[in-house]
Structure 1
Amino acid sequence: MKRLFILLFLFTNFSYAQDIIQSNEGDIKIQPILHGTLVLSFDDIVVYVDPYGGASAFEGQPNADYVLITDIHGDHHNQETLDGLALENASIIAPQAVTEKLPKENYKSVISLANGGSWKMGKINITTIPMYNLPETEDSRHPKGRGNGYILTFGDKKIYISGDTEDIPEMRSLEDIDVAFVCMNLPYTMGVDQAASAVSEFGPEIVYPYHYRGPDGLSDVESFRTMVNERNANVEVRLRNWYPSN
């Protein structure tokens, strides 16, 4: 009975377990951490995305070689979390609105990338695309050009990380995405129905709803999965536990 419980715990839809994506150059390891935070490992390269939640959230994780930050808000650029991690040998890649606030002496290097930029992290190629709210207004929480969405290429696999965005044309027009991490938390980003519509259109092989906690609680990711599968049955929706304390 105990063995059965452990197996069910590891393989439930809301799993704490690390996921493995196979590429033609080796395995890509994906570890959800919290909210919009994850760890990616490939070819002995470790990438932290939007470290948040305190250093304790990364216990048991290997030290980062690279850190990607999408935007200035505290659940993406969280300096307290960064300060608690061993990042002296890590390079930070972020938009200028973030890098101008970083204590650069704490890191191996700090690289500013604007929308449409590119960088190479060992065998991982990175390009940036916009992330922003619609309609575009002067008081937008996420104006176009300030933050970055990221596309990471690992061998023959492409992973898209949305950051805080709505269902913008740049996301809908993505092609050949194997894995996508897509946000959905009104009023900050987009609703479940908007996210499902966009994902169904650009059609990644696998999508992880992430960054889905808002002022009214957690978004209905089960409904997201249903809506995606009704519109595009070729997309696999993977639900993971991004909020361990809930």
Structure 2
Amino acid sequence: MKSLINILLLVIMTTTWSCKNETKNDNTAVINTETIDKPDESLLNIISISHATMVLETENETIYVDPTGGLEAFKDQKKPTLILITDIHGDHLSLETLEALDLTNTTLIAPLAVVEKLPVNITQYNIVTLKNDDNFEFNGINIEAIPMYNLREEALKYHSKGRGNGYVLTINDERIYISGDTEDIPEMRNLKNIDKAFVCMNLPYTMPVESAASAVLDFKPKTVFPYHYRGTEGLSDIENFKKLVNEGDKNIEVVFLEWY
């Protein structure tokens, strides 16, 4: 009888341990194949696709940011519930990709300059136009349109103020900044309480790594992801960006994802 009881106790303990492990595996956030323990309310899956293109997954939403690369680039991804487009240039606005995606029951958010370029077969879907400083609520996600533009005299022709949008998304109390194509503008430097930031740094179109690092040290995100760092002379030196940021503030985590 004692032997039977001991066996039953062992089975119960083993089952309990297994259930705990399964629960722990459910409470994770995946960042480009790296798994980090997080509470359920912070679950966010960040998938780098290429250059400025990414997918953000929450428990209920799949967000495509500047989808490019055609349908093939998203063959392993869930259907988007939300699409954010920052600007009119081809590395942000790909009509070919938008036309290939299934946009039924998808909301597409973009600045007016982008919306004006969308063909009728795309505008038949749910399109929301945001200008700089506008806010929009989407299924519990707050979306702020942030200015993005150039400052250097030689770069003013690339991105004029008011044409494109960066975005700050508030997802489960986390604030996520997506810079779009910009330099170290006051609107970036003055951001507050940013948990995750995607910051561009490529010449001649946006800004050098020194300017990007300086801006990051001003607005102090908890984690920063260099992205959009391919320029006419190749890839920007993101290792130097990390060095500059961590020399200025060792508490800011710099995370490299696979964009190229």
Same fold (TM over 0.5): yes
Helix, strand or coil at the partner of 2:43: strand
Helix, strand or coil at the partner of 1:181: strand
Q: CA deviation digits over 1:75-125, x for unaligned, max 9?
A: 001111111211232111000000111135435301100001011110211
2:197 equivalent in structure 1: 180
Q: Which amino acid aligns with 1:73?
A: H
2:250 equivalent in structure 1: 233
Q: CA deviation digits over 1:130-161, x for unaligned, max 9?
A: 00000478952100000001000012110000
Q: Which amino acid aligns with 1:128?
A: A
2:240 equivalent in structure 1: 223
What does 1:164-179 align with in structure 2 at a 5 Å threshold? 164-179=181-196
Does residue 36 in structure 1 map to residue 26 in structure 2?
no
**Match of residue 200, structure 1, among 217, 222, 227:** 217
CA distance in 1, matches of 2:215, 2:155: 24
1:83 equivalent in structure 2: 99
CA distance in 2, matches of 1:146, 1:171: 16
Check the 8 A contact 1:158/1:178 in 2, yes or no.
yes
**Match of residue 152, structure 1, among 166, 169, 179:** 169
CA distance in 1, matches of 2:39, 2:62: 16
CA distance in 1, matches of 2:99, 2:199: 27
2:130 equivalent in structure 1: 113
Helix, strand or coil at the partner of 1:159: strand
Question: Alignment RMSD, CA only?
Answer: 1.9
Q: Is 106-115 or 57-66 further displaced after alignment? A: 106-115
CA distance in 2, matches of 1:108, 1:18: 35
Question: Highest relative contact order (Cα 8 Å, sep 6+), 1 or 2?
Answer: 1
1:25 equivalent in structure 2: 41
Helix, strand or coil at the partner of 1:110: strand
CA distance in 2, matches of 1:37, 1:238: 16
CA distance in 2, matches of 1:100, 1:20: 41
Q: Which runs of 5+ in 1 are unaligned?
A: 1-14
> Kindly tell me: are residues 122 and 142 of structure 1, through their superposed partners in 2, closer, same or farther at Cα, counting changes over 3 Å?
same
Does residue 57 in structure 1 map to residue 73 in structure 2?
yes
Helix, strand or coil at the partner of 2:246: helix
What does 1:123-142 align with in structure 2 at a 5 Å threshold? 123-135=140-152, 140-142=157-159
Give the structure-1-normalised TM-score: 0.88
CA distance in 2, matches of 1:183, 1:121: 25
- Which structure is higher in helix share? 2
CA distance in 1, matches of 2:251, 2:218: 11
> Kindly tell me: are residues 61 and 138 of structure 1, through their superposed partners in 2, closer, same or farther at Cα, counting changes over 3 Å?
closer
CA distance in 1, matches of 2:37, 2:116: 34
Number of aligned residues: 229
CA distance in 2, matches of 1:233, 1:73: 35
Q: Which structure has the larger Rg over C-alpha atoms?
A: 2
Q: Which amino acid aligns with 1:226?
A: K
Shift of 1:25: 2.8
Shift of 1:54: 1.9
2:208 equivalent in structure 1: 191
Does residue 97 in structure 1 map to residue 113 in structure 2?
yes
Q: Which amino acid aligns with 1:32?
A: S
Identity between Structure 1 and Structure 2 (%): 53
Give the structure-2-normalised TM-score: 0.83
Check the 8 A contact 1:115/1:130 in 2, yes or no.
yes
Does residue 74 in structure 1 map to residue 90 in structure 2?
yes
Q: CA deviation digits over 1:169-222, x for unaligned, max 9?
A: 000011100000000001000001110111111100000000000111111111
